[in-house]
Chains A and B, each alone.
Chain A
Amino acid sequence: MIKYIIVRLALVVPTVFLLSVIVFATIHLVPGDPITVMFGIEGYYPEEVERIKKFYNLDKPIYWQYFVWLKQMATLDFGNSIVRGEPILPLITTRFPRTIMLTLGSMLVAIAFSVPLAMMAAKRHNTVIDVFISGISLTFISMPTFLLAVLMIMVFGVYLDILPTTTHRFASGSTWDVIKGLIMPCLSAGLVTSAGITRMLRTELVDNLHKDYVLFARTKGASDNRALVFHNLRNAVIATATLVGLELGYLMSGVIIIEIVFSYPGMGQLLLDGVTRRDYPIIQITVLIFALTFVVINFITDLLYSVLDPRIRYE
């Protein structure tokens, strides 16, 4: 187990390295003058250009620039936003937790819906209930996140008017406001994800239903619910864990859209801001953070996987 963690951690290092190189390269190796790329304005005076180059270390060799940049990233010295002119770090520290909150909230919704539904469908497989659940999940799978979000806004926000349609008052609101604001974004991102998980989990559960070990547990006197939870679910979850990890990645991308639809002040908004205003340092950092989060999530999924499945744990 310990070996596994260490090896897996050791694998994270090159991944992160590669990531940082790619993110760095997108700015520094794209054809054209980095200054033009970064500032998007042509026609500086040569001295001005030299000054900016010096300021941003652009006159040094590229690998040197990279290491300086890496050091800055590692020490959380993110510099200033070009457009806003304010330091980036506080922006990140307030927004990143919000995005995490949204992602985890959506995941919670996804799991809270998918596990019971999948179990219900599996227990009554090939009945009306099963077909009904399958039908619903299929509908949600094929629905784009933003469409669901817009539909929800129309129903709950406009027609029923019980939930806030935007969350831009986030910073000032009370806890209750925050929670109310989170409900729709989490639901719209989570439901789509839960549909995928439900289908996969249900298939796994049904496959396992007739495994001898489930039946053997029943002959020992386990009730069908106990057998389902202890003997079936665990094995089905192993097969589904990889999917959940991947889904979490997709969720993050879905979250960007959700943030935009609900004007949720998170990392997605920040990224959108950066892109529309060509604020390269912001883009660089948000992309890097999204990528890192993805790596960490994968790492955790893998660990979870090996905790759940002893056959892997001992490899």
Chain B
Amino acid sequence: MGKSERIDAGTGEQVLEVIDLETRFFTLTGVINAVRGVTFSLGKNEILGIVGESGSGKSITCLSAMRLVPTPGRITGGKVLIDGQDIMLESEEDLCLNVRGKKISMVFQDPLTALNPTYTIGWQMKEALDLHSGRATKMDDVRSDLIDALKQMNMPDSEDLLTKFPHQLSGGMRQRVVIAIALLLKPAILIADEPTTALDVTVQAAVLDLIVRLRDDPGMSVIIVSHDLNLIVERCDRTVVMYGGLILESASSEKIVTRPRSPYTRALIHCIPPLTEDTAAFNAIPGDAVDLAQPPTGCPFHPRCANRGSGCDDSVPDLAEIEPGHLVRCFYPESVA
């Protein structure tokens, strides 16, 4: 639907480059290697999808890209370039004033907790404006702008919403408020961490349509994180598959579904419930998720992998380009057939 024919996407100007990013959590019980050397880039007006199972480091990668890793986490290596500028080198004030919210903004996974329960929706929307104009605006001056932003989200009763508190809205409504706030300043980059998990499919479609539209109209680059592979593939130009803090595969969305080369990607696709068959066939990947405190040696997927061969438990394979634009981290990739 929203995906346009842009083969060149991702090859043009890069607005965000993440290079060898490493993020660790130094907890009392040990070090958790949440992100273990992630490299990817986001082209101007590109929509990039990140999929992967729970705990694979998707959210932490996104937060790292804004340099907002929660303690006890720390970025322990790598670079994040926004418009060519390494934000690891910039001062905290600069980031607050010129980067976060303005160049790059983020939508959080859990709509029930992303809004502060003690302030009205209006206050929280206005805060985003005030932070960047650097002065306190009057509610009356911005009211119509805020209502417009909510209307864009297809919200019923937008006019009444500004004076409401988060607990008075349904989960889906809260999530749309969060998205409205993130889009308020028309950022160049939007990171949407599972933006539609709480929404029903029609609203989900509407919200994603809007994001895709914004990509084209004022021009915006988007990262969508999700564990719904179908959604990612349908809306994103390119897809990155993460597992155990590493990227296992990266290619155009088309290729990811039609010709997955990583055994993990294939297993993931296999888990999607089919819509046609009438059997209760639930496929799960056997085995347990990676324990990031003690990641397996070698390929992180090897304890669960069907293609496992000699060497898989020895060293981590490189993320290699096996076709133009198709990167895979695997010793024994799937055949193309």
Mark A residues whose CB is within 8 Å of B: 125-126, 209-213, 215-224, 226, 230-231, 234-235, 238, 308-311, 314
- Asked if B96 and A215 sit within 8 Å, CB to CB, the answer is no
Chain B residues with CB below 8 A from A210, complex form: 70-71
B117 lies within 8 A of chain A by Cβ: yes
Stretch binding the partner chain, chosen from B98-106, B309-317, B321-329: B98-106
- Asked if A213 and B114 sit within 8 Å, CB to CB, the answer is yes
B320 lies within 8 A of chain A by Cβ: no
Chain A residues with CB below 8 A from B92, complex form: 223-224
- Asked if A219 and B105 sit within 8 Å, CB to CB, the answer is yes
B41-97 CB contacts (< 8 Å) to partner A: 63, 66, 68, 70-72, 92-93, 96-97
Chain B residue at minimum C-beta to C-beta distance from A125:
B71
- Asked if B116 and A235 sit within 8 Å, CB to CB, the answer is yes
Chain A residue at minimum C-beta to C-beta distance from B104:
A219
Chain A residues with CB below 8 A from B180, complex form: none
Q: Which 8 A-B pairs have the closest CB atoms?
A: A221-B101, A212-B113, A213-B116, A219-B106, A220-B128, A310-B165, A221-B131, A212-B114
Q: A231-B116, A311-B167 are in contact. Are A215 and B68 (CB under 8 A)?
A: yes
B200 to chain A, nearest CB (A): 22
B110 lies within 8 A of chain A by Cβ: yes
A233 to chain B, nearest CB (A): 11
- Asked if B116 and A219 sit within 8 Å, CB to CB, the answer is no
Q: A221-B131, A221-B132 are in contact. Are A216 and B70 (CB under 8 A)?
A: no
Chain A residue at minimum C-beta to C-beta distance from B111:
A212
- Asked if B72 and A126 sit within 8 Å, CB to CB, the answer is yes
B150 lies within 8 A of chain A by Cβ: no
- Asked if A219 and B100 sit within 8 Å, CB to CB, the answer is yes
B276 lies within 8 A of chain A by Cβ: no
Chain B residue at minimum C-beta to C-beta distance from A232:
B116
Mark B residues whose CB is within 8 Å of A: 63, 66, 68, 70-72, 92-93, 96-97, 99-102, 105-106, 108-110, 113-118, 120, 127-128, 131-132, 165, 167-168, 178, 181-182
- The residue that B127 contacts in the complex, of A126, A212, A217, A224, with Cβ under 8 A, is A217
- Asked if A220 and B131 sit within 8 Å, CB to CB, the answer is yes
B180 to chain A, nearest CB (A): 12
Q: Bound state CA distance, A263 and B178, in angstroms?
A: 59
A53 to chain B, nearest CB (A): 59
26 A-B pairs (CB sep. < 8 Å): A209-B71, A212-B108, A212-B110, A212-B113, A213-B114, A213-B115, A213-B116, A216-B108, A216-B114, A216-B115, A216-B181, A217-B116, A219-B100, A219-B101, A220-B181, A221-B96, A221-B97, A222-B96, A222-B127, A223-B93, A230-B127, A234-B116, A235-B118, A238-B118, A310-B120, A314-B168
Chain B residues with CB below 8 A from A238, complex form: 118
Chain A residues with CB below 8 A from B109, complex form: 212
B162 to chain A, nearest CB (A): 14
Other CB < 8 Å A-B pairs besides A212-B113, A218-B66, 20 of them? A126-B71, A126-B72, A210-B71, A211-B113, A215-B68, A217-B127, A218-B68, A219-B68, A219-B100, A219-B105, A221-B97, A221-B102, A221-B131, A223-B92, A230-B127, A234-B118, A235-B116, A235-B118, A308-B118, A310-B167
Chain A residues with CB below 8 A from B96, complex form: 221-223
- The residue that B118 contacts in the complex, of A216, A223, A309, with Cβ under 8 A, is A309
Chain A residue at minimum C-beta to C-beta distance from B93:
A223
Chain A residues with CB below 8 A from B100, complex form: 218-221
Q: Bound state CA distance, A223 and B91, in angstroms?
A: 11
Chain B residues with CB below 8 A from A126, complex form: 71-72
Chain B residues with CB below 8 A from A231, complex form: 116
Q: Bound state CA distance, A220 and B131, in angstroms?
A: 8
Chain A residues with CB below 8 A from B72, complex form: 126
B314 to chain A, nearest CB (A): 36
Chain A residues with CB below 8 A from B128, complex form: 220-221
Chain B residues with CB below 8 A from A224, complex form: 92
- The residue that A222 contacts in the complex, of B102, B108, B131, with Cβ under 8 A, is B131
Chain A residues with CB below 8 A from B114, complex form: 212-213, 216
- Asked if A220 and B101 sit within 8 Å, CB to CB, the answer is yes
A85 to chain B, nearest CB (A): 56
- Asked if B102 and A310 sit within 8 Å, CB to CB, the answer is no
Chain A residues with CB below 8 A from B102, complex form: 221
- Asked if B165 and A219 sit within 8 Å, CB to CB, the answer is no
- Asked if A310 and B117 sit within 8 Å, CB to CB, the answer is yes
- The residue that A219 contacts in the complex, of B66, B115, B120, with Cβ under 8 A, is B66
Q: Bound state CA distance, A209 and B182, in angstroms?
A: 20
Chain B residues with CB below 8 A from A235, complex form: 116-118
Chain A residues with CB below 8 A from B116, complex form: 213, 217, 231, 234-235
Q: Bound state CA distance, A223 and B110, in angstroms?
A: 22
B81 to chain A, nearest CB (A): 18
- Asked if B118 and A310 sit within 8 Å, CB to CB, the answer is yes
A82 to chain B, nearest CB (A): 53
Q: Bound state CA distance, A126 and B74, in angstroms?
A: 14
Chain B residue at minimum C-beta to C-beta distance from A221:
B101
A214 to chain B, nearest CB (A): 8
Chain B residues with CB below 8 A from A213, complex form: 113-117
A213 to chain B, nearest CB (A): 4
